[in-house]
Amino acid sequence: DGGITQSPKYLFRKEGQNVTLSCEQNLNHDAMYWYRQDPGQGLRLIYYSQIVNDFQKGDIAEGYSVSREKKESFPLTVTSAQKNPTAFYLCASSRRPWAAQGAYQPQHFGDGTRLSIL
């Protein structure tokens, strides 16, 4: 079955440490997204990528970095510059909107990584 796999499910970060969250999809989607969700809140966009080797900052990119070397993979690194990293991180993918006459496409989500600081 096609889907999005995020790993690990739980992650702990020590002060001053960078950590990388994995996101892999086998849906053949061009677009991928990273969101942050704080308790009782909605999702905020960190980074997004429309195509391989291209990515753009979202609303809260400071303290985060990404890469998109393969269509299937969009890892997120939480750097030591992110002072409040404790949150639930969600990865999503979708077909490109213009692939269907400009119509927006539903986003498919992984089951998230819960990051805490030690």
| Shortest separation between residue 81's beta carbon and other proteins, angstroms | 22
| Shortest separation between residue 2's beta carbon and other proteins, angstroms | 14
Would you say 57 or 70 has its CB closer to other proteins? Answer: 57
Would you say 15 or 56 has its CB closer to other proteins? Answer: 56
| Shortest separation between residue 50's beta carbon and other proteins, angstroms | 5
For the chain, the residue count is: 118
> How far is C-alpha 65 from the geometric centre of its chain's CA atoms?
10
- 3-class secondary structure, 73: strand
* Angstrom distance (rounded) from CA 85 to CA 98: 34
> CA angle 63-89-112, nearest 5°?
155
Q: Which residues contact other proteins (rule: CB under 8 A)?
A: 4, 6, 31, 35, 40-45, 48, 50, 56, 58-59, 90, 92, 94, 96-98, 102-112, 114
